[in-house]
Structure 1
Amino acid sequence: MSAFRGLDISASGMTANRIWQEVVAVNIANAETTRTPSGEPFRRKLVVMMQDGLGVRVAAIVDDPSPFRLVYDPSHPDADANGYVRMPNVHPVLEMVDLMAATRGYEFNAQALAIQRQMLQQVLDLLR
């Protein structure tokens, strides 16, 4: 195993968590979007991660299949004949929990990267 493999592992974790943070931001930004180009409400996006060697990578970003929320608002332009509006399946509180988890994952990998860098620097100092 290369002395730099640990750096690669931490960097892959940072990249995957950054992508997760970006997807959560898109979900939050579209929490009230009732009409997309397809004509449907925005559908929450989920990040699928998988092990990649000793690291991790984003395998896919998929639509959350959970049902849309129905809100009674007959004055809304997207209301159906009964006055109900199909709202995105985005729950801001759950998105904030995901954002916290992604941020913590990023921070932990950044800390591990810094520690590994420090250890490698100490090895180089000993070899001088």
Structure 2
Amino acid sequence: MSFNSIYEISGSAMRAQVMRLDTIASNLANSDTASTTEEGAYRALKPVFSAMYQSTQNDRSVSASVNTLGVTESDRTVEQRFEPNNPLANADGYVFYSNVNVLEEMADMMSASRSYETSVEVMGRVNSMQQSILKLGQ
């Protein structure tokens, strides 16, 4: 595996974690939003990733990357509260709130941050290895 392949793998992993952090930020920003209908309530977003493997030059070189398949909405039910005095209450007096679980999102954010940091560390180590190889040639 070449150094370029390692950089590509780490770069794609970092892009995936940035997307993950973006959806988490959106979820947290909308965690307390209310709606008059269940369909209008904010639903938590979750990115979907897959590993992509490629081999080249008669299987002598293997490359991998993280592929983003898209973003899906959580299927968790939205919270329904009886608040007849709320201006967003429907005819029955109910207000619908997002299905975002703040604790779950915070844990996911810590995991995504650590994964991003790991990819940065991998790139730093590869860079250090390349510099060491260049010093050997002097």
Provide the TM-score with structure 1 as the length reference. 0.89
In 2, Cα distance between equivalents of 1:25 and 1:45: 10
87, 93, 102: which one aligns with 1:83: 93
Q: How much does 1:77 deviate?
A: 2.0
Q: Deviation per CA, 1:61-104, whole angstroms, max 9, x where unpaired?
A: 11112111112222222223332211111111111011111101
Q: Which residue identity lines up with residue 95 of structure 1 in the other structure?
A: E
Q: How much does 1:113 deviate?
A: 1.0
The residue number in structure 2 matching 1:20 is 20
For the 8 Å contact 2:51–2:66, the answer to whether it is kept is yes
Identify the range of structure 1 (54-63 vs 74-83) with the bigger mean alpha-carbon deviation.
74-83
The residue number in structure 1 matching 2:117 is 107
Q: How much does 1:114 deviate?
A: 0.6
Q: Does 1:122 align with 2:127?
A: no
Structure 2 residue runs without a partner (length 5+) = 54-63
For the 8 Å contact 2:35–2:96, the answer to whether it is kept is no
Identify the range of structure 1 (92-101 vs 74-83) with the bigger mean alpha-carbon deviation.
74-83
Structure 1 residue runs without a partner (length 5+) = none
Matches within 5 A, 1:57-68: 57-68=67-78
For the 8 Å contact 2:32–2:98, the answer to whether it is kept is yes
Q: Which residue identity lines up with residue 22 of structure 2 in the other structure?
A: E
Over the residues paired in the alignment, what is the CA RMSD in angstroms?
A: 1.7
In 2, Cα distance between equivalents of 1:27 and 1:60: 16
Q: Does 1:8 align with 2:13?
A: no
Q: How much does 1:24 deviate?
A: 0.2
- Identical pairs, percent: 29
In 1, Cα distance between equivalents of 2:100 and 2:113: 19
Q: How much does 1:126 deviate?
A: 1.2
Q: Does 1:94 align with 2:104?
A: yes
Q: How much does 1:7 deviate?
A: 1.2
Runs of 4+ in 1 over 3 A off after TM superposition: none
Provide the TM-score with structure 2 as the length reference. 0.83
Greater strand fraction, Structure 1 or Structure 2: 2
The residue number in structure 1 matching 2:43 is 43
The residue number in structure 2 matching 1:34 is 34
